[in-house]
Amino acid sequence: MNNYTNQTPIQSFNEADRPREKMLLLGKHAMDDDELIAILIGSGTIGKNAIALAKEILLSVNNDLSELGKREIKDLQKFSGIGEAKALVIAAALEIGRRRQFSDARQREKVTCSRDIYEIMSPELIDLNYEEFHVLLLNRANHVLRKAQISKGGVSGTVVDAKLVFKPAIDALATSIVLCHNHPSGNLRPSQADIDLTKKLKQAAIHLDMHILDHLIVAQTGYYSFADAGTL
């Protein structure tokens, strides 16, 4: 959206750049925080579109959604263009997010061994006829914060970008991660590419002060654990 000014009406954006259309096209995970808030508030004010107004609100809390969730309705109404109705929508959305976080914490799966990883990931990978690469993001207690699909490819492999592997981990403030991909062929033996990628990612994790607990290869015949095999 670099070609647009704060005054540019969102209706004048290219369709793929409008928050609602972008979410429909690319999904909620592709959205920036300001775009999500822009959807909540619906419209901006004179001389300031909804995205610019959302950026202003986020800037007031240093782009910290947790801090924004602590703001009272009257605090939100201090922004020009945010009346009581819009302030209530923002506050309600952030409160739902807070409650979901606590709900997720109660239901979080914990990784204690390679079998736990297999049971968590196999339902998503075991029946695919093409390769996908995923990561599990873990907190300090090895509870799963969330899963993230990094890439998907063909029968014989998928391209994995190291930057995309660690971005969701950094965003989630994960302490450690588990690498996981499937072999549609059923062959559990890691390829040389699998071995090289594991070494590359392990080295990168060191510089990010992050730990790779395991790399699991999943197939219908079972699984291969780099950690169990002593090859991590």
- pLDDT higher than threshold 90 for residue 228: yes
What are the Cα distances from residue 160, in Å, to 41, 165, 207? 37, 8, 19
Contacts of 108 (CB under 8 A, 6+ apart): 143, 144, 145
Q: How confident is the model at residue 132 (pLDDT cuts 50, 70, 90)?
A: very high
What are the Cα distances from residue 134, in Å, to 1, 80, 182? 30, 43, 9
pLDDT of residue 197: 92
Residue 159 φ/ψ, nearest 5 degrees: -80, 130
- pLDDT higher than threshold 50 for residue 30: yes
pLDDT of residue 1: 45
**CA triplet 162, 164, 169: central angle to 5 degrees?**
100
Q: How confident is the model at residue 217 (pLDDT cuts 50, 70, 90)?
A: very high
Share of the chain above pLDDT 70, in %: 94
Closest CA to 58 of 76, 46, 80, 43: 76
- Residue 218 vs residue 152, higher pLDDT: 218
Average pLDDT over residues 197-223: 93
pLDDT of residue 32: 93
Pair 115, 209: CB distance under 8 Å: no
pLDDT of residue 160: 85
What are the Cα distances from residue 195, in Å, to 12, 43, 107, 182, 206? 49, 51, 33, 14, 17
pLDDT tens-place string over residues 163-181: 899 999 999 999 999 999 9
- pLDDT higher than threshold 80 for residue 232: yes
Q: For the chain, give the mean pLDDT.
A: 89
pLDDT tens-place string over residues 147-165: 999 988 765 567 788 889 9
Pair 40, 50: CB distance under 8 Å: no
Residue with tokens 């990628």: 197
| CA–CA separation, 112 and 79 (whole Å) | 48
What is 126-180 written as a DSSP string?
Answer: TT-SS-EEEEEEE-TT-BEEEEEEEEE--SS-----HHHHHHHHHHTT-SEEEEE
Q: How confident is the model at residue 42 (pLDDT cuts 50, 70, 90)?
A: very high
Pair 162, 204: CB distance under 8 Å: yes
Average pLDDT over residues 183-199: 92
pLDDT of residue 20: 93
pLDDT tens-place string over residues 60-94: 999 999 889 889 999 999 999 999 999 999 999 99
pLDDT of residue 87: 96
